[in-house]
Structure 1
Amino acid sequence: MSLLTSKNVFEQLPSGLDSEIFDALYDKAGVKIERIISNGQSSPRQGWYEQEHDEWVMVIQGSAVLGFEDSSKLSLSVGDHVLIPAMLKHKVLATSRTPATIWLAVHASNPSKCFSDSDDDKQGETS
């Protein structure tokens, strides 16, 4: 018997959400992976998210629009993902209701070890 169990991010989806749901799928060693379910929710008009860590998000169902302090917007649909660098002010402007938006989010407290594309980090890799 295996000690591993699988779960499905599309299971146990509540209907008629009044608020977003945040489910931690993994939270160890400075890395947190969560499923977020949004059903038409958006960030409050006042204020911004300004996190001390990088956040990578992917939309796996539905759609969303992110807004940034410089007034730029980024529309995301199924399969789209973005890395939001630490301290970049952002907010969720819109999420779809039908279907609800399901996100995967990865928060890294030591982002230089997780999300780096530098050549230094690729030493020792072979093609």
Structure 2
Amino acid sequence: MKRRRPTPWQWIGYAFGRRLPDSLRDWVREDLTGRYATARHIVRGLVPFTPLFAAFLLFPGELWLRGSMILLAVLLALFYTAAFLPMNRAHRLTAHGLPADLENPARARRRADERARYAARYPH
């Protein structure tokens, strides 16, 4: 029987950049191009930073100061995760043997419809 989802350990490795088995290629395609792919990418991008966030709790000082350090680190991690989303997505797709420019089929359909409407409205 073919597994539909990675195990928790496989998913953690995937979050850190490891390649999943070929049997999970359809799951990877859906994960990277499906509905809510951006939200999943941001959550997945924060996972490697969790040891850093936990380490900030061990620093000496008031709780509000340690919380502020964690908040700053989370904001920076969010910024870089969002900024490098297209490059990370393309890298993950190619690492799993999928085309780097693969996109959500519904989004591609909407874009083609918009182009067709534009071409019909503004012919050359």
Q: TM-score, normalised on structure 1? A: 0.25
Structure with greater helix percent: 2
Which of the pair has the greater relative contact order for Cα pairs under 8 Å at 6+ separation? 1
TM-score (normalised: structure 2) = 0.25
